[in-house]
Amino acid sequence: MSIYVGNLSYNVTQEDLGKVFADYGTVKRVQLPTDRETGRSRGFGFVDMDSEDEESSAIEALDGAEWMGRVMKVNKARPREEKSGRSGGGSWGRSNSGYSSRRY
């Protein structure tokens, strides 16, 4: 199970976050998603630890703690939700060929 860590400073690195969680056990993986266009951190991340006991200790200790000028939100990560059946990309009013079948 992963731990969700929110409200992070945009200057946080994976190494920084790993060190904070290492105080509570063995950190297996740290992920910091970045914005596709700017490459900047999105202000949240995920941490995987060696055991559920370590995760619980870290969550209890760090949720609401101030770090790098921000109050962290730390909890168990929820499974990623599947996107709805709608596809994005502005396909309204178009057939499979990409042209509208409407006449104006």
Structural domain contains residue 85: no
- Domain of residue 11, residue span: 2-76
Comparing CA positions, the residue from 53, 49, 52, 43 lying closest to residue 22 is 49
Q: What's the pLDDT tens digit per position in 33-60?
A: 999 999 899 999 999 999 999 999 999 9
CATH number for the domain harbouring residue 31: 3.30.70.330
pTM for the full predicted model: 0.75
Q: How many domains does the chain have?
A: 1
DSSP string, 66-82: EETTEE-EEEEPPPPPP
Per-residue model confidence as pLDDT tens digits over 12-22: 999 999 999 99
Any domain includes 24:
yes
Give the mean pLDDT of 50-75: 97
